[in-house]
Structure 1
Amino acid sequence: MKKITFPHPLIILVGFVLLSWVFTFLIPSGNYERKPDELTGREVVVKGSYELIEKPSVSFQEMLMAIPEGIILGGDIVVLILLIGGAFYVVEKTGALQAGVEALIFRFQKQQNLLLIFLSLGFSFAGATIAMQEEIIAMAPILIILAKNLRMDIRSIIGLTLGSSLAGAAFSPINPFNSLLGQQLAELDLSEGLIFRMIVFIIGIGLWTFLMIRNGKSKEPVTASIKFEPSPIGWRHSLILFLSLGGIIVMGWGITQHDWGYNEMSSLFFVIGISCGLIGKLGLNGTAKTYSEGFGEMIFAGVIVGLARSVYLVLEKGKIIDTVIYSLFTPLEGLPDLVAVNGLFLAQCLIHIPVPSTSGQNVLTIPLAVPLMDLLGISRQLAVLATQYAVSMMDMITPTNGGMMAVVAAAGVKFNDWIRFIIKSWLAVVGICLLSLIIALIWFH
């Protein structure tokens, strides 16, 4: 029997672009009125303002044009991927990464689970604070080395890094792109619900980490071959690793304290990449050549991110995004509280497929979800929690999330293999989300 080959990520996203174009003919066009919000400075949707509009015609050529347009719109992220990816590729070629990973494995060879727990906690904190996702794309070479040395399934290592970051963002009380923005849009105090959120954060991250470690262990018996003497780390390797780690810390500091964007992060790692190449004795020409080779390794990941934006562009051209939101939210108004809240979560999950932007979905849907909660006599906090959980959890599985698709592709993992590996764990954590919403109905009553 001939083995069925799962479509390449490029084919999947191009397929979504085509599907979104078909939907522009099938779904009525409509829009909500929007007005500036004094708290956030963003445009928000006015409740009750939805109306059908004349359907714009999206030609086949316009659909094709959306492909390069999406890549161009994602240009800042593509540049970030190339420059950070090139920098880590240089670091890898100096031998510092291999030496550092070997030293780490040797140090925790009898405490492998502890190492994996620290890895998950570190990335969950990064997700909770700066919503780290695209930045992980360039770390794919490190993840592969780590998986091989620990004899772990590479999908588990992705789960403990990218997955933990997204889970951290889902449960975080301080994520500026999700929870904090949602609190502002819902006109809630930013500290409201902090204790509840921290409790759920600990439970959610704890469960995710446990499942990823358990499911990722090698089925083969552990042998003494894992125990080895690591390569010696000289001052050059130590300095390179220090600069690499320092760059990640500085990047987090810049994002949280100085509102850094992609360009600031890109320039930081460009300097780090060149510096590490020179310190690693690659020479000027050798460093430049190695950096350019790193571009080649990362260019596909950058294109994937751009294509995910193309899907949204086509839907936007057809003016059907507001119709999708209206159709999903309106039926919730007449439902019991428990059903309505969980229905809101499911609706937000579906909305996140055509609207892959976290902050964009908050701005689109929170102003609509808040009046719904007011109408039902439910705390507005439920609208924020349902949106936050749905957006970040869907980021783990939806093909329109270019960041996730790029990380998986850069690590050499097929999308269907990634979904097959995480789906049971994902459903378990989604269960935590739904259970916490039920408890929140009582907690915030």
Structure 2
Amino acid sequence: MKKLSFPHPMVILLAFVVLSWIASFLIPSGTYSRELDPKTGREVVLQGSYEQIEKENISLQEMVVSIPEGLILGSDILVLILLLGGAFFVVEKTGALQAGVESLIYKFRNQKQLLLIFLSLGFAFAGATIAMQEEIIAMVPVLVVLARNLKFDIKAIIGLTLGSSLLGSGFSPINPFNSLIGQQLAELELSEGLLFRMVFFFLGFVLWTWLMIRSGRPKVQQQELEIVPGQTIGWRKGLILILSLGGIVLMGYGITQFDWGYNEMSALFFVIGVNCGLIGKLGINGTARTYAAGFSEMIFAGVIVGLARSVYLVLEKGQIIDTVIYGLFSPLEALPEQFAVVGLFVSQALIHIPVPSTSGQNVLTIPLAVPLMDLLGISRQLAVLATQYASGLMDILSPTNGGMMAVIAAAGVKYNDWIRFVIKSWLFVAAVCLLSLIIALIWFQ
């Protein structure tokens, strides 16, 4: 009997598009009233304003059209993935990447775990500050080379990079798309709870990194081979590596200091990729051909991101997102405070599946969660923490997170294999989040 294979990532996301369409017929359409928040410049929902509206049934044609519409909405990210991915593909073909990785591994030949810790720390910091996620898609070729040379499970390397970045965002006290916007919406001082958040940021990072390193080790102990220095890094390869790493640093600086968007990041790496090809003696035509080959490697990852947006688009057209939020939040009013906080965390985790945007979820739910906390006599900080933890954790698992799906697809990892690998570690970190919320009930009294 032929064994059934697990669905392809595109099949999974298309199934979610269809399920969202079916849900639009089963769940009543409803909406909250909204107003502009002058502090954040975003529209926020008004507590107690939910009302059902005339059913918005989406036709089959509208559902199908939502697929290309989602791709168009994600076009800026698609361009970034193509240009950034093409640049790294050029760097790989010059041989600089392989030489750099071999040199790095030789330097840490007796301290491989320290290398992995630094890797996790770097991405956790990137997640905590600039919410790095889609940018990692184009770095997958680098991660594959690193995993191969370290003889380490590629899923663990993804966990130490993408996973650390997502958790860094989920625990961060300074992430502008998560904690800071949540604090503003809850009308809290941006510095409130900084020490508390830093403590649990550290605990979450240490636990996650240890679990990923432990899980990624080969199950069968391999014979240790003598590690040689590898190929020499000449001035050309050295300059290429400096340009590549400098581009990543400059990208972070541009995002934080000059409010760069995807277009600025795309332009930066296009210039870097072309220059790296010329420095690496690929020639003008050779650089162009290599860049085009890089596009073909990255196009599917970009499509995955667009399809994830299509899911949200269908739910938005059916006007059922507000109904889902209303249905999840309303029962919490009757619960004791400890159960209400846990219920809020679970509700926010479920909401993050149809609303994969972190900042979007904050704008949708914080204005509703804050009055609930006031009603129960709980600090508003709990509303922010529950939302932040839930969105950061769910980004690791949810198939509607196009960034995560694109990374594992580009690395050749099946979604079910990723879930099977990461779920135990995820549950441990989720337990830390719940512990943090229970302690926060006392801390913020």
Report deviation, 1:56.
Answer: 1.4
Q: Distance in 2 between matches of 1:221 and 1:438?
A: 41
Alignment of 1:203-214 (within 5 A): 203-214=203-214
1:427 is aligned to 2:427: yes
Q: What is the alpha-carbon distance in structure 2 between the residues aligned to residue 231 and residue 384 of structure 1? A: 50
Q: CA deviation at 1:433?
A: 0.4
Question: Which letter does structure 1 place at the counterpart of 2:330?
Answer: T
Report the residue type matching 1:66 in the other structure.
Answer: S
Deviates more, 1:240-249 or 1:213-222: 213-222
Residue 227 of structure 1, CA deviation: 1.4
TM-score by length of 1: 0.99
Whole-angstrom distance in 2 between the partners of 1:234 and 1:345: 52
Q: Which amino acid aligns with 1:349?
A: A
Cα distance in 1 for partners of 2:257, 2:223 equals 47
Structure 1 residues 33-112: aligned runs within 5 Å:
33-112=33-112
Equivalent in the alignment of 1:219: 219
CA distance in 2, matches of 1:204, 1:219: 25
The structural deviation recorded for 1:230 is: 1.1
Which stretch shifts more, 263-272 or 221-230?
221-230
Q: Report the counterpart of residue 266 of structure 1 in structure 2.
A: 266
Give distance in 1, aligned partners of 2:423 and 2:41.
38
Q: Tell me the alpha carbon deviations over residues 192-239 of structure 1, each in whole angstroms, 9 at most, x when there is no partner.
A: 000000000000000000000001011232423251231100000000
Q: Is the 8 A contact 1:149 1:226 kept in 2?
A: no
**CA drift at 1:45:** 0.3
The whole-number CA distance in structure 2 between the counterparts of 1:343 and 1:259 is: 36
What secondary structure is seen at the aligned counterpart in 1 of 2:218? coil
Report the AA paired with residue 403 of structure 1: G
Shift of 1:356: 0.7
Over 3 Å counting, the alpha-carbon distance change for 1:439 and 1:91 in structure 2 is: same
How far, CA to CA, are the matches of 2:226 and 2:66 in structure 1?
A: 49
Q: Which residue of 1 aligns with 2:117?
A: 117
Which one-letter code corresponds to 2:57 in the other structure?
S
Counterpart in the other structure of 1:387: 387
Pair 1:276-2:284 in alignment: no
Structure 1 residue runs without a partner (length 5+): none
Q: Any residues of structure 2 matched to 1:37-436 within 5 Å, and which? A: 37-225=37-225, 227-436=227-436
Sequence identity, in percent? 74
Q: Secondary structure at the match of 1:44?
A: strand
In structure 1, C-alpha distance between the alignment counterparts of 2:385 and 2:432, rounded to whole Å = 12
Does structure 2 retain, via aligned residues, the 8 Å contact 1:87–1:269?
A: yes
Question: 1:193 and 1:237 mapped to 2: Cα distance?
Answer: 45
CA distance in 2, matches of 1:321, 1:219: 44
Listed one character per residue, the Cα deviations across residues 386-421 of structure 1 (whole Å, up to 9, x for unaligned) are 000000100000000000000000011001000000
In 2, Cα distance between equivalents of 1:115 and 1:200: 23
Q: Name structure 2 gaps, 5 residues minimum.
A: none
In 2: Cα distance, 1:286 partner to 1:391 partner: 43
Deviates more, 1:216-225 or 1:265-274: 216-225
Displacement of 1:84 after TM fit?
0.2
CA distance in 1, matches of 2:422, 2:3: 22
What is the one-letter code of the residue matched to 1:35? E
Question: Letter of the aligned partner of 1:269 in structure 2?
Answer: F
- After superposing on structure 2, the runs of 4+ consecutive aligned residues of structure 1 that deviate more than 4 Å are none
For residue 113 of structure 1, report the CA deviation from its aligned partner: 0.3
State how far apart, in whole Å, the 1-side matches of 2:299 and 2:347 are.
34
Q: 1:322-372: CA deviations, max 9, x gaps?
A: 000000000001110000001000000000000011100000000000000
Distance in 1, matches of 2:242 and 2:299, equals 26
SS of 1:36 mapped into structure 2: strand
- Residue 188 of structure 2 aligns to a residue whose secondary structure is coil
For the 8 Å contact 1:87–1:274, the answer to whether it is kept is yes
1:63-106 C-alpha deviation (Å, 9 max, x unpaired): 00000000000000000000000000000000000000000011
In structure 2, C-alpha distance between the alignment counterparts of 1:297 and 1:148, rounded to whole Å:
19
Q: SS in structure 2 opposite 1:353?
A: coil
Q: Distance in 2 between matches of 1:102 and 1:306?
A: 35
Report how many residues are paired: 445
Question: Structure 1 CA distance, aligned partners of 2:370 and 2:407?
Answer: 34
What is the Cα-based RMSD across aligned positions, in Å? Answer: 0.7
For residues 275 and 229 of structure 2, what CA distance do their matches in structure 1 show?
28
Q: Quick one: which amino acid aligns to residue 259 of structure 2? A: D
- Secondary structure at the aligned position of 1:396 is classed as helix
Quote the offset at 1:62 in angstroms: 0.2
Q: CA deviation at 1:110?
A: 0.6
What is the CA–CA distance in structure 1 between the aligned matches of 2:233 and 2:68, rounded to whole Å?
A: 45
Task: Tell me the secondary structure at the aligned position of residue 225 of structure 1.
Answer: coil
In 2, distance between residues paired with 1:236 and 1:220?
39
Preserved contact between residue 32 and residue 49 of structure 1 (Cα < 8 Å)? yes
Q: Distance in 2 between matches of 1:253 and 1:222?
A: 41
Query: For 2:411 and 2:225, how far apart are their aligned partners in 1?
Result: 25
Q: Deviations over 1:175-194 (max 9, x none)?
A: 00000000000000000000
Deviations 1:233-260 (A, max 9, x none): 0000000000000000000001111111
